[in-house]
Amino acid sequence: MAHRSQAGSTPSSPKASPFTPATLTPTLPLQIAERIGEAVVDEHFAPGERLKEVDLATAFGVSRTTVREALRILESRGLVRILPQRGAQVTQLSRIELENLFEIRAVLLGLAARHAARNYEAVDQAILQARITALAAARDNSKAYARASAEIVDCVARLSENDQLAELIAGFAQRIGRYTRLGLASRERRAHSLANWRRLVQAVATGNQRAAEDINRRLALENRDAALIEIERRTPATRAPRARSG
């Protein structure tokens, strides 16, 4: 992340180096990991579902070794668990795990918004307004809105000018992305979310650090609560056993 240069500073000339690195391109396992990760977030694979190496290798037209490396990448991101003798399966978070992750994320997002408000410059307004416009345009589609929401989260993280904080926030993006989307399933929730995002952008633009932090933290926690409600709604109720007669 390139930070804004301070007025009056003169950059020093870099020393010449004989080393010229080649252009970096994502490795094949990383590309496949990204594709599978997106499929998990989009609910093409259910929590707890087994990811069969043979099927994935056939689908992508690669070796099982390449798929295995991709799954290890996803395991490091918390999207997949690789179990001995059972292979990889989509991570199924317990309620307490989900609550803990969302709580940590809320703190990180609040801190990012505080820093973004503190470091705000006039040139940031067009960037933030473009993200708000994208949110508003996507409010009738849960999948598109969730994607636009992730983009504005990343935008605020970058405007915080704290590389380490932005990296931590990005690390949560895929890990709980499916659950974030569940929290935005209803149009009413998306309308409420959009209103809060507009308030957040206003707080950042006016340099109101405390308000920006509070609003962004509340956005994350409200999304957590809505996601948990949606999960309960989708979970089939367990029938009570019938009482024996006689």
* pLDDT average, residue stretch 218-238: 85
**Which pLDDT score, from 0 to 100, does residue 22 have?**
56
CATH for 28-90 is 1.10.10.10
What residues does CATH 1.10.10.10 cover in the chain? 28-90
User: How does pLDDT run across 59-103, given as a tens digit for each residue?
Assistant: 999 999 999 999 999 998 888 999 988 899 998 888 899 999 999
Better-predicted residue by pLDDT, 176 or 239: 176
Architecture of domain 95-234: Up-down Bundle (1.20)
User: How many whole angstroms separate alpha carbon 149 and alpha carbon 194?
Assistant: 9
Asked if 159 contacts 127 with a C-beta cutoff of 8 angstroms, the reply is: yes
In percent, the amount of the chain with pLDDT more than 90 equals 65
**Which pLDDT score, from 0 to 100, does residue 244 have?**
46
Asked if 93 contacts 179 with a C-beta cutoff of 8 angstroms, the reply is: yes
Is residue 9 over pLDDT 90?
no
**Which pLDDT score, from 0 to 100, does residue 7 have?**
39
What residues does CATH 1.20.120.530 cover in the chain? 95-234
**Which pLDDT score, from 0 to 100, does residue 243 have?**
46
Task: Provide DSSP, 169-216.
Answer: HHHHHHHTHHHHHHTT-SHHHHHHHHHHHHHHHHHHHTT-HHHHHHHH
**Which pLDDT score, from 0 to 100, does residue 23 have?**
56
**Which pLDDT score, from 0 to 100, does residue 18 have?**
61
| Mean pLDDT (the chain, rounded) | 86
Is residue 5 over pLDDT 80?
no
Better-predicted residue by pLDDT, 157 or 15: 157
| Residue 2 pLDDT class (50, 70, 90 cuts) | very low
* Residue 231, C-beta contacts closer than 8 angstroms, at least 6 positions apart: 179, 182
DSSP 22: P
Better-predicted residue by pLDDT, 17 or 135: 135
* pLDDT average, residue stretch 153-158: 96
**Which pLDDT score, from 0 to 100, does residue 43 have?**
81
**Which pLDDT score, from 0 to 100, does residue 233 have?**
84
Better-predicted residue by pLDDT, 120 or 176: 120
User: How many whole angstroms separate alpha carbon 65 and alpha carbon 38?
Assistant: 21
Which residue in this structure is represented by tokens 């505080």?
114
